[in-house]
Every structure is written in C-alpha cells, then in structure tokens.
Structure 1
Amino acid sequence: MGRPKYFTPAEVSLHNTISDNWVSYMGKVYNLTPLLQEHAGDVLLKPIIEFAGKDISHWFDPKTKDIQTHIDARAECKKYCTPNGRFFHIHPANPHTDWANDFGQSWWKDSKYEVGVLSSKTRVIRIINTLTSQEQSIEVCAEENMTEILQRYLKYNAHAASYTWKYMGTNLDMSQTLEENGISEEAEEFYELRMDADQYTPAIHLYFNDDLTEL
C-alpha cells in the first residue's frame, strides 16, 4: 500500500457539479461522480448534488461510521436522520413494496469511490526561486512530505526537481514533512503575540542545479 493522496478542503470544493461531484466525510475524500452518472435523473441524488464539494461528516455518527439515526416517536423505531432529504440507498420512512434493497453496499460504505484523505490541517508556504526571483504562495497539507509538495509546485515550475530545496540555509529532506524538517506551524504563537501570521509565512528557497530533469 502506497501513501494516500491528501487533499485540502479548497481542492475538494472545486468538484461541485453534477458531472464532477466530490464530497468529504469522516476524514476521507470521495468522488461520487460515477454514482451520479449511473443513476442520472434519480430524485434521491438531490441532497448529494446539493452538497457537492462540501464536507458531509455531520451526516454520520462518528461511533458507528453510519448515517445518523433517531428514534421515531410515532413508529417507535430507529430511523436514519436525513434533514436535507432522503438520499440514495436510504430506505423510505414507511414500508414500500416497490423499494429495491438488493443494491449491495451503500455508497457511503463503498471504498471504490474513495480518492484520498482530507487534510486535518493545511498550511501556506512561500516558495522562492533564487534563479528567477519568482515567488509563489501555495496551500499544502501538513501531512504531505516535501516530494509531494514539490508535485504541487510543478504547475508553476516544471523543472522543480532540478533545484535544491532549502529552509534557512539548510537542505530539506524531501521524504519528510514541513514539521519534520523543522518548519513549525507558529500561527498560535503569532495569535498570542497579536501578530499577523500572514506576514510571516515560512519561505522555502530553491537553488538551481545543473541539469533540467523533467518529472
């Protein structure tokens, strides 16, 4: 098993249409586009479409990892709680002979839709190319190592792997995270000191090597 792909909430939010529908819940990111395509036009897809690009963890019970439930006082039985409307694979409130329950795995339990992990914390860093003096601020996942951050930076510099990455004059270990490389998150300290953390975004400097190796 390789490392999971990490996504920021902002990245998930970009997939917010019927033809490109991602959601996050319980710390994971899911691409539900195939579900919508397979059952196009079904009214029970409406809540899923409305929450495209958003986190829906509040739909779930953190203990059972299943949809939240409540006790129906009139029926005196436990039912799924769907305040935004009943959605796909949720049985009707009352018995129905025309509701097919042979669909197998409920979509929220089906790992085939999983595309990665939702970052529990994101950070903004500055990357400064000392050769061209170009500077770029990017949002990254705190769980990502420097090689994965390099992958994010490739859209700004296709030859990023041909540079030595340094922080405060020290070469970075590309297999480690920002924190592991000594680039600590200091937002709380800045807050306590009533300083604007945005003005003190950590800067990583890139130093050009000899060859232009493309990834």
Structure 2
Amino acid sequence: MSLKKYFTPREVSMHNTEGDLWVSFLGKVYDLSKLCERERGNVLLKPILLAGGTDISHWFNPKTHDVRTYIDPETSCVIPHCPNGRYIHIPPPYPDSRWANNFGCPWWKDINYIIGDLSQKTRFIKIVNTLASQEHIIEVCTEERLHAILDRYLMYNKHAASYTWKYNNVNLNMYLTLDENGIRDEDEDFYKLRMKDNEFLQTIHLYLNDDLTEK
C-alpha cells in the first residue's frame, strides 16, 4: 500500500538553494530543483530563488489554483500579481512580441514537481529505546501513520523496524496515526496551562522483539 508523503515546514525550509530548491503552496510541496537547473541564468528565476524553502500560497488563487491577478488602474488590463517581481512562465504585463508562450504547462500546474503534501499541523513526540536507554524528540506530521514516523526515526536507529512500539504499555498499530492510536495532540492544552510541552511530551517506548523479558 502506497502511503501519502507529508513534510513539515521545517523540512521544506532546509531546501533553499539553487541546486536544491523546494517551495510549498496550497497544501502541496514542490521540488523545483530541475526547473532551476533548466532556467539557470534566467533573470525571471530570481523571485523563485528568493522564495526557496518558503510557503508561497499568497502567490496563487486558492479557488482556481492559478496565479493571482489584479486590474491595472491605468490600463484596466488584468495583470498577474507577483509580490517579488515577475517570474518564470508569467507573461509580461503588456503585449510583447518577444514573449514565447510555447513552454507548455506552467511550473505551478505541473504535477511532476509535486513530491508530497505540507503538514497542516506538526507535533513533537519522544521516542525511548528501552534496550539502549536512549531517547530522542522528533517533529512529526499529525497526518502521518506510525510507519512514516518510523522512517523518520531511522536516522537514530536503523533497526527501528525490529522493535515493538508501545504507548502506555499498549502495542501501537503502525498503520494508524498517533491520534488514531490514542496518543492525543496536547499542544493546545499545554498552551492554555502555560506548560512547557517539551517537558511533558507523550512518550513511545520501543522494545526489541528479541528481548524475551518484554511481551
């Protein structure tokens, strides 16, 4: 079964160079690295480079998923709204015989650049390896199932799949989300009570499957 890929805003922000550039908008994450490589040296690439690693939803109309436009008060023409200046695949504001519109699908409509969804809400969770007595706090997406969270944890323990994951001594279903497993997101409660959430994080305990002392 193919699982949908989610990214945190922090992950998107790490990809902000010309050779490795991501942006997010309208809930999707786009890897524009190939676009940057193909258009290298094009002055119209600059606004995209400046936006690398950020969410640019304000560039687009959420209903049409197309570029926002406005009416030019002087000419009454419909003009694309470009907060950081005109960018690739945006036509010039006025008729121009040099404008080549044979590029096909504009990059913001090209689904080939989509690599996943932007998480609508992230949270932190503590994972404790009972065998090694090690604990790590990781940021995860609330939409992710436990299998995806396991993938995030592999950087700390490449054998994580060989462990049984438990919360409050109950085995977790790796095909469900944290919330579906009964691990409620308490961020709002922490905020209301003025508590430091990093001191009271829900903790998942990992037990090595070969450890016969644990059931």
TM bracket, shorter-chain basis: over 0.9
User: CA deviation digits over 1:115-158, x for unaligned, max 9?
Assistant: 11111111100000011100011001111111111011111101
Is 2:152 aligned against 1:152? yes
Is 2:58 aligned against 1:53? no
Indicate the residue corresponding to 1:31 in structure 2: 31
- Per-residue deviation, 1:159: 0.7
**Structure 2 unpaired stretches of 5+:** none
The 10-residue stretch of structure 1 (141-150 or 186-195) with the greater mean CA deviation from structure 2 = 186-195
- Per-residue deviation, 1:79: 1.1
User: CA deviation digits over 1:28-78, x for unaligned, max 9?
Assistant: 000101111111100000000001011101111111111111001111121
- Per-residue deviation, 1:2: 2.6
Q: Distance in 2 between matches of 1:192 and 1:16?
A: 35
Indicate the residue corresponding to 1:142 in structure 2: 142
Indicate the residue corresponding to 1:169 in structure 2: 169
If the length of structure 1 is used for normalisation, what is the TM-score? 0.95
Aligned 1:1-215 pairs, distance under 5 A: 2-210=2-210
The AA in structure 2 aligned to 1:36 is C
- Per-residue deviation, 1:210: 1.5
- Per-residue deviation, 1:3: 2.4
- Per-residue deviation, 1:193: 2.2
Aligned residues: 211
The AA in structure 2 aligned to 1:124 is F
The AA in structure 1 aligned to 2:118 is L
The AA in structure 2 aligned to 1:90 is I
**Structure 1 unpaired stretches of 5+:** none
If the length of structure 2 is used for normalisation, what is the TM-score? 0.95
